[in-house]
Amino acid sequence: MAAPTQTKFFPDLLFFLSVALLLTSAVSAYEFRVGGPRGWTKPTGDELGNYNHWATKNRFHVGDSLYFKYENDSVLVVNKNAYKECNTTDPQLKFVDGNTTFRFDRHGYFYFISGKPGHCEAGERLIVRVMVHSEVMPGAAPSSQPGGGSANTESGAALKTTTAASVLMAALGSLFAISQFS
């Protein structure tokens, strides 16, 4: 039996790694719907604190995004002090279109408040802590899915179908199998 040829191995490796990286970038982000079906609205009654309570049940990473659906309102991205004081006078960003998608471009804390008078004081505000992806931090444990590991329709989180590691392992496994039979 002849020895397998190595000339096709490297082009195949390059192809599979390219596909794995492409798939990884396509499936590694979530879009979270703020407020679930009700959207970004002024809380009433016992709902006070519901936005921050919801945020603590989810894990946010760089590349994920928040989707705000609202009417006759706005979304302001503010600093910590403006968040605490519900100060709407000097936001970092202001959105008024009723369909806002905000993508996290860094890790750390993000502060959101309503721009409509009285709404922030009534609880229409949100703090989000964005984590560093485990792929970025060597030795870090993989992150869990949003909402405790299950598809959470109330949060509107998109279900992640695979992780970067599993895509890469599948590609390398396929490449190994192909090279054995070439």
Digit-coded pLDDT (tens) for 67-81: 999 999 999 999 999
Q: Which mean pLDDT values do the consecutive 10-residue runs of the chain (182 residues) have? A: 56 57 58 92 74 92 96 97 97 97 96 97 95 56 35 36 45 52 54
Q: Where are the beta strands (DSSP E) in 40-135?
A: 60-61, 65-69, 75-78, 93-95, 99-103, 108-114, 125-131
Which residue is listed with tokens 């302001």? 76
Specify the fold of 31-131.
Answer: Immunoglobulin-like (2.60.40)
Tokens linked to 172:
């390398």
Q: What's the confidence (pLDDT) of residue 8?
A: 64
The total of other beta-carbon atoms located within 10 Å of residue 70's CB is 24
Residues β-bridged to residue 68 = 100
Q: What's the confidence (pLDDT) of residue 88?
A: 97
Instruction: Please state the φ and ψ torsions of residue 134, each to the nearest 5 degrees.
Output: -65, -25
Q: What's the confidence (pLDDT) of residue 44?
A: 80
Q: What's the confidence (pLDDT) of residue 134?
A: 55
| Helical segments of the chain, H only | 9-27, 50-56, 80-85, 146-149, 164-181
C-alpha 97 chain-centroid distance: 21
**Domain residue spans of the chain:** 31-131
Spatial separation of the C-alpha atoms in residues 160 and 8, rounded to whole Å: 33
pTM of the entire structure? 0.62
The candidate with the shortest Cα–Cα distance to 103, out of 25, 26, 32, is 32
Please name the residues in contact with 88: beta carbons below 8 A apart, sequence gap of 6 or more. 76, 78, 82, 113, 115, 117, 120
